[in-house]
Structure 1
Amino acid sequence: MKLNMQSIKRLSLAFLLMSGNALANSAPNTAVPDSLTLFDFEQGFDLGSAQTSDAKVSLVHKDGSQRLLVETGMRSGAPGVTIKRANGSWDLNDYYHVKMDITNAGDQTARIIFKVGDPADGMEAWQMEIRFDLAPGQTKTVSDDIITSPWRFTKPLQLLAMRAAPGQAKTDLSAINQVKVTINSPDANHKLLIDNIRATNPVRWVEPAGFLPFVDRFGQYKHAHWPGKTLSVDDLRQQAIEEDRELAANPSPANFNQYGGWKDGPQLKATGYFRVEKYNDVWWFVDPDGRLFWSHGVGVVNAATATTGTTDRENYFEWLPEKDTAYGAFYSSEERASHGYYSTLDKRETYNFTASNLYQKYGQNWKQDFDRVTHARLHSWGMNSLGVASDKELTMQGKTPYTETVWVTGTKKIAASNGYWGKFHDVFDPSFRSQLKKSLSKRQHTVDDPWLLGFFIENELSWGAEGSLAIATLASPAEQPAKVEFLKDLKAKYKTINKLNQVWGTQHSSWNALLASTETPDQVKAWDDLQLFYQKIVQTYFSTVKNELKKVAPKALYLGCRLAWANSDTVIHTAAEYTDVISMNKYQYNVTDVGLPEGVDRPILIGEFHFGSLDRGALHLGVVEASSQSERAELYTEYVNSALLNPYIIGTHWFQYAEQPPTGRGDGENYNVGIVDLADKPFPELVKSIREVGDRMYIFRHSAATNGDIVQPKKPAKLDFIQVDEDAHTRSN
């Protein structure tokens, strides 16, 4: 068995993170073997225990061992294999990792999901999986953490409202009987060789006494030490003095103009507003002065990112100030959260550690200093864009280009639809247009601002697979406006219910009976009609948004809806028809393969990406893993370089500016995602990479276009019908 260096670094750093008070009274579990084999595919392995989805499996012999070959297709959103224990299950409560050796035996990079167990709870299922890329010919040993830390509490200690709470199993580990390996939304066939699936790294057991409180006065994890951790208010103030000097010595790149456009590049038509244009066969923004502009940015730039719930968790914090002091201004009350423990409460009290720390750092004028330093940082780092959900005061100061985000709430939804952030709008109900207009009316002050890059309208809508929203429409009640619209179309096509029954293989007695029914038809038989109405929903959504946006802001760019997960050709084609820019949130290691279907040519803006590690006090890696802060920096460079070499991509926005609190935001996310930490200190390794990328990005992209080094993404295969799998459109961020 081989351990790759990433696994070794990750384990060592995780132990370093938890090496403070929490491990002071811990002990290794010496009765547990160092490793427990789950599947080794040697003599006696039964291929019948490997259940496939759009894949075939076989056993291959090489170098004296036997491995499982998995050959996947493209007709499924998540082709692959589920390997089940023939009899019984394993109790994995004593182990930290499940590892697997895997080789990409194909000729295309594979984007792989490895999941341990089969939790019924969607969030637990996501926590029990890892996602990684594997280049052709590459072999990796991958590690899936099944415990949130290398140690566990000896007795139950309930820690609420956190995506990852220390010392906890991610799901019930007492009866694990399967692992699953799938390809995420493939556009090519793949071959994988799998071997040596085993549980490793016995956990240490820790007494819970003394663990609470586990958050210090700055909102940081208390039971660990790391380089750069803030230990006092004096630390905060000294850091501010030193950073002011550093920023003054490192202004914005010399080739940036006032907007962050390429001052030394070609002079194009100046319109006074941002637009998009193809130059040398690659897409760009063009700034108001007519200079090429590539949006190197960051989202959620505000002074509230470490706002965390205190309700029912007061004993988690070693310091919560009295409300009648100056710090009382940082308490607030918030409504029901979208997910997690706080989704069960109508209201919760919160404390804003970001603002609290800034107040301790700068004093009464902390907000003005935050604004000043933030603009200076972005310029010094070679960044030129404020991304999604950034502070309104900050965006309106005429110092850094920004995006405006419009949220459409209070609409009637398709009752039987579902999605991570909620059900899909019923775009045929009048409330959709009226609520959209209401939200847009609140953005009037931005519409003629030359610093405005454009409008994001909503975020990560759950479009689902082809036909899915039409299926949800049929499963909704009779009074659903979308269902009434669907039946109107069906009546126009079939004239009689009997003709529809013949095609669909159904037995509805009348059109009213179909309207009242919530049964859905055989998808293959009804496919043409399902697909047509799905297209109508998508087209109605985008056309309505564009029409209303252009009434309010005719000169502004429509930056799309920040597509996430796997998106159908219908969504991409329709977005390209109505938006100026197709925005995508892409949580992966590079975006070389991010392209568009045949016949679509539109610029792409990456609205979110990040990499996270556990070596500076974080309790959760985030969506895409790095082994350390140094690797976060390396991965940043690789990702943005791949975007600069992609002819469609006109910018990348890191998610997000500041670290999430260890106790979690409202929905429990507590990720290592910041460029700056909880105490407003930049992560130096990451900043160094950001600066280097920003300093050379214009020369890099322009030279690649001039010299023929731009990398054209492969066009995805066009399939008539895609099988929908439970993992095909799960949340990846």
Structure 2
Amino acid sequence: MFIKSRVTSLLLPLGCTLLLACSPQQAQPPSGITTLTTLYNFDHGDLPDALKITHGSVESTEKSGNGQAKITLHSKSHHSASFTLRPYSPWQWNSMGEFAFALDISNPSGQSTQLYATATDAKGHVHNRSFVVPAHSSNTYYMELRGADLSTDSGLRANPKQWQSSAAPMIWRHGTKQLDLAAINEISFTVRGLLEDKTLIIDNAQLVRANQIDPHYLTGLIDKFGQNAKQNSEYHVASKAQLIADKKAERRTLAQGSLTDRSTFSGWKDGPKLQASGYFRVAKYQNKWTLVDPEGYLFFSNGIANVRMANTSTLTGYDFDHSLIQPRSGNELTPEDSQGLNRVPDTAIKSRKVASELRADLFTWLPDYHEPLGKHYGYRRSVHSGPLTQGESYSFYRANLERKYATETQPDFMQQWRDTTVDRMLNWGFTSFGNWLDPDFYQLDRIPYFANGWIIGDFKTVSSGNDYWSPLPDPFDPEFAKRADITLKRVAKEVNNSPWCIGVFIDNEKSWGSESSLEARYGIALNTLSLPDGDSPTKARFTQWLADKYSNIESLNSAWNSNYPHWDSIVQGVQLNELNASVIADLSALTEIYASEYFRVVNAAVKRHLPNHLYMGARFADWGMTPEVRAAAAKYADVISYNYYKEGLDSDFWAFLDQLDKPAIIGEFHIGATDSGLFNPGLVHAQSQQDRATMYTAYMNSVIDNPYFVGAHWFQYLDSPVSGRAYDGENYNVGFVTVADRPYTPLVNAARTVNSELYPKRFK
């Protein structure tokens, strides 16, 4: 049993608040860091009341006479668990210079732990970061809260380390970089979506500053192969000759072929055979949902997504005279970030100029446009985020493919790459590709795949209040159905009724809403109800539904506890502030009406143009879906798709599958580490390439063991550009291969093992 000690709050001349346990002891900081003040330590069994635990436990412990807090987080039976430092009154850090919050963390277990760190100010703004605590490790982890890096928009999702210190930075995720430092309410650390409980030991919550920073941390980062020029790894290449040697060595391995228990279409040849339809379908077998291949064999889709050139380019910091660039067309069927390089016309090249010195200085080499490797330049007419709104791009990966595969006798390096890629998939044991496959693979007839399409066009939109990628379409606008039909007609032409096509994904990660609050859950309905009927077909449909339910305005006012003078108030748009039970029930119904129309329209287009193929839904992000939207998808999608970036499928989050009882598939997941030379591991952190392999195995086994899932797709085939992909700066170690097209051996070996046991484990 431990003794809780009340913590004393002292106001310092600096303007920060010093919170000390009963017996404060200054800790020895890691190299390169100076401690400004200690907020908490845990000496002599003292645990401050400010330490709050959610779904876990804490006890006092001691090491070498130094008190610590041992925290166990029970995320196995809960989707998330956390520990939080919350003072009695907000911390006042506005008078500090450049500084960071730091915490000593030890991990005594044999598995790494990813933590999501969030600082929240009194205005409700949040500053989100994440980091990994390696197995059997101890270190200091810091969250920079004031510094030049926070106001530097490099166009990278996470910048390289600027502090010259042995302490580890928490990696920026999202939120507000510039918090109100005059009133910080709390700093929390959370684990999410874990497959087992986690134990950590914490000590010395402090404010610290760097003794020295690297003024050139954003200069000369990228070498001529697109690799990190400042950090070597065993996967780096130093020459074209090394790339060619890789190709020759790998060909000997790939010649060994694929697993022997596979049917023509990669189904389970050694398992039971169901009715064959000539195309892929879904069925229940022994109370488990499954895909069935065209020959009738049980099929589980394990594959890799985003095998294409579209997201391989990075912004160079150069631009051209915009009058010489062809503008985007309103009739495009594919968003620009999913298109190819889109090279500028030759007439524009002479106008090339530096548009961002910061971006241009990232590179140690870029080719001349007239050099052979100059053909890998492209252009982005719009981007999601970063210091530029448009500009020149370059694909180092594509350039490396030419260096590696092009010969005088076989100059078509892209065909060599496609053949090698399929050989890899089969040799590594994968049964299919995932989403976002280059259509040039569609007619190779060697491995099953999924087609994809986007519905874009000049139709009206609605908002959930958090339109991360873009606003939502208005499915009641006739233009939306028209564009859906055009899109699916194009996809059907690409597929050409191929039995190798399992199904089609349409759209991706739309911001349908979340269950974080009532306002977030019903944002589509709330925002749409505020619009005039004449401006929004969806709003007009909502008004009609309300009129059908409530015969007059008095009935609606009685149910909603409102006082609208006449029905025209609803027609012109209303702002709902009080959400009583009747309002919530109506918002729920309206949300499902909206989502049902979206999925109905898309499903109709799929079945009209691809009647023999499965409709795979819109790939829900776990942060952007609600029960109403999932229920709507269940009515029309053959398989419901989810992108889920966690360590595995925890039972708490996925309990809703029992209610839907529909086949499901993971559209995206990944795990990354910074020993690759990339500055950002991705959305799920591992401590090393070997740890990636271990975590991959655990994730896949959690999917294979779930009776509702019929597959899982890793995102993506290759790492993001080290300098960030052109569209939004993602610079993640998420590939099975590097920018130099070198496979990550531990991950490949893990996939081979999982895939060799796939069917017996799934259908045991």
TM-score range (shorter-chain normalised) is: 0.7 to 0.9
Instruction: Tell me which of 552, 575, 584 is aligned to 1:496.
Output: 552
Alignment of 1:226-241 (within 5 A): 226-241=233-248
Partner-residue secondary structure (3-state), 2:416: helix
Of 632, 644, 649, the match for 1:591: 649
SS in 1 for 2:763: helix
Paired residue total: 653
Percent of counterpart pairs with the same letter? Answer: 30
- Partner Cα distance (1:560, 1:694) in 2: 25
Q: Distance in 1 between matches of 2:82 and 2:247?
A: 51
**Is 1:388–1:607's contact at 8 Å kept on the other side of the alignment?**
yes
Distance 2:247 2:685 in 1: 30
After superposition, where does 1:518-667 map in structure 2 within 5 Å?
Answer: 518-525=574-581, 526-566=583-623, 567-593=625-651, 594-665=654-725, 666-667=727-728
In the TM superposition, residue 92 of structure 1 has moved relative to its aligned partner by 9.2
Within the candidate set 461, 472, 487, 1:439 is matched to: 487
- Following the alignment from structure 1 to structure 2, what is the Cα–Cα distance between the partners of residues 68 and 316? 41
Deviations 1:131-160, CA, capped at 9 Å, x for gaps: 999xxxx99989865359xxx999999462
Describe the shift of the 1:461–1:278 C-alpha distance in structure 2 as closer, same or farther (beyond 3 A): same
Whichever residue aligns with residue 336 of structure 1, its letter is S
Q: Look up the match of 1:315.
A: 361
Deviates more, 1:303-312 or 1:622-631: 303-312
Distance 1:612 1:219 in 2: 18
Counterpart of 2:673, as a letter, is S
Cross-structure match for 1:86? 89
Secondary structure, in 3 states, of the residue corresponding to 2:118?
A: strand
Q: 1:441 and 1:501 mapped to 2: Cα distance?
A: 46
Partner of 2:396: 353
Q: Which residue in the other structure is 1:487 paired with? A: 543
**One-letter code aligned to 2:668:** E
Q: Secondary structure at the match of 2:391?
A: strand
Deviation at 1:193, TM superposition (A): 10
1:581 partner letter: V
Q: Deviations over 1:681-702 (max 9, x none)?
A: 0001111101111112112222
What does residue 430 of structure 1 align with? Answer: 478
* Aligned residue identity for 1:390: L
Aligned partners of 1:377 and 1:60: how far apart in 2?
49
Q: 1:272 to 1:145 in 2, by over 3 A?
A: farther
Structure 1 residue 560: Cα displacement:
1.2
The partner residue of 1:371 within 414, 418, 442 is 418
Does residue 1:701 correspond to 2:762, yes or no? yes
Is 1:255 aligned with 2:261? Answer: yes
Q: Give matches, 1:278-427, under 5 Å.
A: 278-311=284-317, 312=356, 313-342=359-388, 345=389, 347-363=390-406, 364-410=411-457, 411-415=459-463, 417-427=465-475
Query: 1:180 corresponds to which residue?
Result: 188
Matched with 1:685 is 746
- State yes or no: 1:32 paired with 2:34: yes
Write the distance in 2 (CA, Å) between the matches of 1:59 and 1:691: 40
Distance in structure 1 (CA, Å) of the matches to 2:262 and 2:74: 49
Aligned counterparts, 1:115-154, within 5 A: 115-118=118-121, 125-126=127-128, 128-129=129-130, 146=143
- Measure how far apart 1:273 and its partner are: 0.5
**Structure 1 contact 50–57 (Cα < 8 Å) conserved:** no
Contact 2:103 2:141 in 1 (8 A): yes
Structure 1 residues 424-455: Cα deviation after superposition (integer angstroms, max 9, x where no partner): 22222212211111111111221511000101
Q: Is the 8 A contact 1:418 1:424 kept in 2?
A: no
How many Å separate the matches in 2 of 1:156 and 1:527?
Answer: 40
Within 2, Cα distance between the matches of 1:111 and 1:495?
Answer: 54
Shift of 1:499: 2.7
Partners of 2:644 and 2:43 in 1: CA distance: 34
Partner of 1:515, secondary structure, is helix
Paired amino acid for 1:700: K
Correspondence for 1:454: 503
2:529 maps to 474
> Is it true that 1:167 corresponds to 2:225 in the alignment?
no
In 1: Cα distance, 2:223 partner to 2:124 partner: 32
CA distance in 2, matches of 1:530, 1:575: 18
**Secondary structure, aligned partner of 2:472:** coil
Query: What secondary structure sits across from 1:125 in the alignment?
Result: strand
User: How far apart are 1:401 and its partner, in Å?
Assistant: 0.7
- Aligned partner of residue 615 in structure 1, secondary structure: helix
Q: 3-state DSSP class of the match of 1:443?
A: helix
Counterparts of residues 713-728 of structure 1 (less than 5 Å):
none
Output the CA distance in 1 between the equivalents of 2:555 and 2:201. Answer: 50
SS at 2:711 equivalent: strand
**Counterpart AA for 1:125:** H
C-alpha displacement at 1:637, in angstroms?
A: 0.9
Specify whether residues 235 and 174 from structure 1 end up closer, same or farther in structure 2 by C-alpha distance, changes over 3 A only: farther
Question: Residue 570 of structure 2 corresponds to which residue in structure 1?
Answer: 514
Distance, in Å, in 1 between the alignment partners of 2:80 and 2:588 is 17
Distance 1:441 1:559 in 2: 17
Give the AA of the match of 2:544: K
Give the 3-state SS of the residue equivalent to 1:487 in structure 2. Answer: helix
User: C-alpha distance in 1, partners of 2:618/2:591?
Assistant: 17
Q: Is the 8 A contact 1:70 1:81 kept in 2?
A: no
Q: Note the residue ranges of structure 2 that are not aligned, 5 or more in a row.
A: 1-28, 163-168, 318-355, 515-520
Preserved contact between residue 32 and residue 210 of structure 2 (Cα < 8 Å): no
> Which amino acid is 1:649 matched to?
F
Shift of 1:197: 6.6
Q: How far 1:65 moved relative to its partner?
A: 7.7
Q: Report deviation, 1:487.
A: 1.6
Is the CA contact 1:634–1:689 (under 8 Å) kept in the aligned structure 2?
Answer: yes
Does the 8 A contact of 1:657 with 1:674 survive in 2?
yes
* Preserved CA contact (<8 Å) 1:96 1:203: no
Q: Contact 2:79 / 2:192 at 8 angstroms: preserved in 1?
A: no
Q: Following TM superposition, by how much is the alpha carbon of 1:78 offset from its aligned partner in structure 2, in angstroms? A: 9.9
Question: 2:499, 2:74 → 1: CA distance?
Answer: 52
Is structure 2 residue 251 aligned with structure 1 residue 244?
yes
Cα deviations by residue, 1:348-389 (Å, 9 ceiling, x for unpaired):
111111111111112232101101100100010001211111
Q: What's 2:21 paired with?
A: none
Residue 546 to residue 447, structure 1, CA distance change in 2 (3 Å): farther
- Looking at structure 1, the residues matched to 615 and 287 of structure 2 have their Cα atoms a distance apart, in angstroms, of 22
Structure 1 pair 92/531, CA: closer, same or farther in 2 (3 Å)?
farther
Question: Does the C-alpha gap of structure 1 residues 88 and 696 become closer, same or farther in structure 2, counting only changes over 3 Å?
Answer: closer
- Report the Cα distance in structure 1 between the residues aligned to 2:105 and 2:283, rounded to whole angstroms: 46
Whether the 8 Å contact between 2:302 and 2:712 is mirrored in structure 1 is: yes
CA separation in 1, counterparts of 2:193 and 2:694? 26
**TM-aligned CA distance change 1:695 to 1:57, over 3 Å:** closer
CA distance in 2, matches of 1:550, 1:442: 14
Deviations along 1:302-340, one digit per CA (max 9) or x if unpaired, are 234431011322222111111122222211112212233
